Chains A and B, each alone.
Chain A
Amino acid sequence: DAKTTQPNSMESNEEEPVHLPCNHSTISGTDYIHWYRQLPSQGPEYVIHGLTSNVNNRMASLAIAEDRKSSTLILHRATLRDAAVYYCIRYNQGGKLIFGQGTELSVKP
């Protein structure tokens, strides 16, 4: 199972939008793209997921490329509480999430 590719770290200013990219060039047609984030000493927290079209929820937006080989998680206004490691995951089925190294997001006040 191929892992996704994400930048190791990104930095943002508070109250500015953040775009976290993810490459999943070997994705199959039935794989959903899931995003989770993890704060220190906590379990991963679900952020958003999608299959083909863009998705929005109260936490974030997910923009999926037309060819599905990449996606972008968008935090519309970063807060200090958004500082975490963000994981982009291909999820096929059977509860098996294949985590990459994730992107460590830091937010500056």
Chain B
Amino acid sequence: KAGVTQTPRYLIKTRGQQVTLSCSPISGHRSVSWYQQTPGQGLQFLFEYFSETQRNKGNFPGRFSGRQFSNSRSEMNVSTLELGDSALYLCASSPETSSGNTIYFGEGSWLTVV
């Protein structure tokens, strides 16, 4: 079955702009989580959605937001972009939020802020 799909794969934005990234989870998966990866900070948890509700949130400013739709697809939005937001943004999905479940990652969206 198809894996986690993220779009777009690459994008360049200017400081001050906003960006929306999209994630389609594996069919049947209801939990979607987002991570940011940078060379300096490594992989950091952004937030997690389950059945359209945000269940968990990492330590990121309010400029980072997300949502999940009834079909489990998810989007994350970053407003007022800063140079430091340049990163690989990863989406992951799992059937439920139980820690015994396997989490599957997408290939990520590479965001460059100039």
Contacts and interface: CB of A to CB of B under 8 A. Distances in A.
Nearest to A93: B99
A51 B98 CA distance: 12
Interface residues of B, number: 28
B43 A96 contact: no
A43 B102 contact: no
Interface of B: 4, 31-33, 35, 42-45, 48, 50, 55-56, 58, 90, 92, 94, 97-100, 102-108
A51 to B, nearest CB: 7
A49 B100 contact: yes
B100 A32 contact: yes
A44 interface: yes
Contact of A43 (B31, B100, B107): B107
A31 B98 CA distance: 10
Contacts of A65: none
Contact of B90 (A43, A51, A95): A43
Contacts, number: 70
21 contacts: A34-B103, A43-B4, A43-B105, A43-B106, A43-B107, A46-B104, A49-B100, A49-B102, A91-B99, A91-B103, A94-B55, A95-B31, A95-B33, A95-B48, A95-B50, A95-B55, A95-B97, A95-B103, A96-B56, A97-B35, A99-B44
Given A95-B31, A96-B56, A46 B45 contact: no
Contacts of B45: 95-98
Contacts of B33: 95-97
Nearest to B44: A99
A35 to B, nearest CB: 11
